[in-house]
Amino acid sequence: MKRKIVILGSTGSIGRQTLEVIKEHPDEFEIIGLSCRENIELLKEQIIKFKPNISVVANEFLAKKLKNELNNFNKTKIFWGVEGLIRISTLEEVDVVVVAITGIASLLPTLEAVKHGKEIAIASKESIVAAGDILVREAKANKATILPIDSEHSAILQCLKNERKENIEKIILTASGGPLYHLADSALKNISVEDALNHPTWKMGKKITIDSATLMNKGLEVIEARWLFDISPKKIEILIHPQSYIHSMIQFVDGTILAQLSEHDMRIPIQYALFYPDKVVNNYNRLDFTKIGQLTFKRPRFNKFPCIKLAYKALEIGGTMPAVLNGANEIAVNAFLNNQINITEIPIIIENTMKNHIPKLNPNLEDIFDADYWARKTTLLLCENKA
Ligand code: MG
């Protein structure tokens, strides 16, 4: 029987690549729902091609526009807003929900899907950062599975196969270092938005590319790993590996290390999440070691890229602090993309927001959203004062 799938964020980079993978396996999957925020032109094409029962857009205006543009013969129902996202994520017939929405916007639909016992293939690390504890707890209670699409976490999942967790000495999360790693400190603050968006090894959305440039992406991934694999942050280490062929590694208590390597192709972790725990045939590019020549490694420079330290700090403090880190980061990245602040101010502003927050421990969902809202408001003010 075909597995029934919903993709939240089908017009983004991960959403489009998920549809590519699904297109190659027409006998395995059926698309039940698709969603986008505003790119209704592309969503329209996807609806015509994949014939979902339901689609969701950001608001009523876009929903009506899309309905008009689709001809009368198209039976796809169009809903909007977060209620729409929750509706498609919790449909009785749906087996798998792919979460590929950037930012905290994915949290509510993801949590509702988890509560309905769905299998979640998640690319949106922000929800796990803000509310990892709640998501993991609810997943356990409702027998929902949360599978990572993030390449590092997919690598860890693959290396962990058949291994007992007690045998892990540490997780080694690799990081390319992003487009700015080689720069002198003095050159960093004059970096343009364009330079920061020019990632050396991965082509991704804007938010995650800036997060890669500040190394906040790696910090968020430490928090993501902490929750997905229930492992102490002390056992999670970051290693700079500029070629990005090793997607991450696990070092075991006997000193052996397992690594997962492949080409830079997000369709590989997407396929792994969709077919988990199986590996299926594909014709994507294979790694050619003789062409690569060598793999190199460096220790991360925490002082030059303080976002990593802030992420470890937020995790150590716990409670609502990771949600504040995440909310502050989303706003600061936006301010940089709008030329309001320079890139070196991102961690300074996030740190100031964190310093002003009184964390609430063992937060419920409302506390998380309150902290997120507070962090955004506070960070917006800090960014405006800088501009
Ligand atoms: Mg990643």
Query: pLDDT by residue (tens digit) across 193-217?
Result: 998 898 777 777 888 899 999 999 9
**Ligand 1 centroid, distance to 174 Cα (angstroms):** 9
Q: Let me know if residue 386 belongs to a domain.
A: no
Q: Let me know if residue 355 belongs to a domain.
A: no
Q: Let me know if residue 50 belongs to a domain.
A: yes
- Say what the pLDDT of residue 72 is: 67
Q: Let me know if residue 262 belongs to a domain.
A: no
Whether the pLDDT of residue 223 is over 70: the answer is yes
Which two structure tokens, joined as six digits, stand for 226? Answer: 């902490």
**Ligand 1 centroid, distance to 268 Cα (angstroms):** 13
Residues 272-301: what's their mean pLDDT?
96
What pLDDT, in 10s, does the model give residues 177-193? 988 888 888 888 889 99
Q: Which residue has the tokens 């500029």?
A: 242
pLDDT grade for 386, boundaries at 50, 70 and 90: confident
Q: Let me know if residue 13 belongs to a domain.
A: yes
Q: Let me know if residue 23 belongs to a domain.
A: yes
In angstroms, rounded to a whole number, what is the distance separating the alpha carbons of residues 107 and 132? Answer: 10
Residues 362-378: what's their mean pLDDT?
97
In angstroms, rounded to a whole number, what is the distance separating the alpha carbons of residues 117 and 138? Answer: 9
Strands (E), the chain: 3-8, 29-35, 54-57, 77-80, 96-99, 119-122, 145-148, 168-175, 236-240, 246-252, 257-261
The residues whose Cβ lies within 5 A of ligand 1, an ion, are 150-152
**Ligand 1 centroid, distance to 71 Cα (angstroms):** 39
Q: Let me know if residue 242 belongs to a domain.
A: no
Whether the pLDDT of residue 2 is over 70: the answer is yes
Domain around 58: 3-148
**Ligand 1 centroid, distance to 175 Cα (angstroms):** 8
**Ligand 1 centroid, distance to 29 Cα (angstroms):** 25
- Cα 78 to chain center, whole Å? 26
In angstroms, rounded to a whole number, what is the distance separating the alpha carbons of residues 253 and 199? Answer: 35
| Number of separate domains in the chain | 1
Q: Let me know if residue 112 belongs to a domain.
A: yes
Q: Is the pTM of this model over 0.75?
A: yes
CATH number of the domain to which 49 belongs: 3.40.50.720
- Give the residue, 105 or 157, on which the prediction is more confident: 157
Of 125, 349, 307, 296, the C-alpha closest to 221 is: 125
